[in-house]
């Protein structure tokens, strides 16, 4: 039988406050701005769509040197596209905020919490 955890109202308030702090962070706000920029940049959106389609093609075909080369070319184009590069950097910054938060929580409770323990990440 699955044991359910009940969150106290006090803890729930603190969790909500933490969530609000994330929403107000510069990392989150920058990510939202970058997503909006992507929505308004037809060239970047098309490039991203092509990249996703090429990824799917590679997954369906398995290893294919030609498709892999095309995927690498698209990835290079994405990295040189200002909109896409800004979006990637903002995603990394927000992920860093989450990693830092996880590390602080782990340290505070003296338990490994959501920490990388090897394998793929």
Residue 83 near residue 34, CB atoms below 8 Å: yes
Length of the chain counted residue by residue: 121
pLDDT tens-digit profile of 40-84? Answer: 999 999 999 999 999 999 999 888 899 999 999 999 999 999 999
Q: Which CATH number belongs to the domain containing residue 37 in this structure?
A: 1.20.1500.10
In the chain, how many domains are there?
Answer: 1
Best CA proximity match to 73, nearest among 82, 83, 81: 81
Is 37 domain-assigned? yes
Please state the pTM of the whole predicted model.
Answer: 0.78
Residue 118 lies in a domain: no
Residue 92 falls inside a structural domain = yes
Domain span at 25: 12-108
CA distances for 29 relative to 45, 61, 78, 94, angstroms:
20, 38, 22, 10
> Looking at the domain assignment, is residue 2 inside a domain?
no
- Gap between the terminal Cα atoms of the chain: 31
């Amino acid at each position: 039988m699955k044991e359910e955890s009940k969150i106290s109202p006090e803890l729930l308030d603190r969790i909500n406050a933490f969530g609000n702090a994330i929403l107000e962070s510069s990392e989150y706000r920058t990510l939202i701005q970058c997503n909006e920029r992507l929505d308004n940049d037809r060239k970047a959106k098309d490039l991203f769509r092509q990249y996703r389609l090429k990824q799917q093609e590679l997954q369906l075909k398995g290893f294919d040197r030609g498709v892999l080369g095309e995927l690498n070319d698209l990835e290079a184009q994405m990295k040189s596209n200002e909109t896409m590069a800004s979006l990637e950097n903002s995603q990394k910054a927000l992920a860093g905020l989450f990693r830092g938060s996880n590390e602080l929580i782990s340290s505070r409770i003296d338990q490994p919490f959501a920490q990388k323990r090897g394998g793929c990440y």
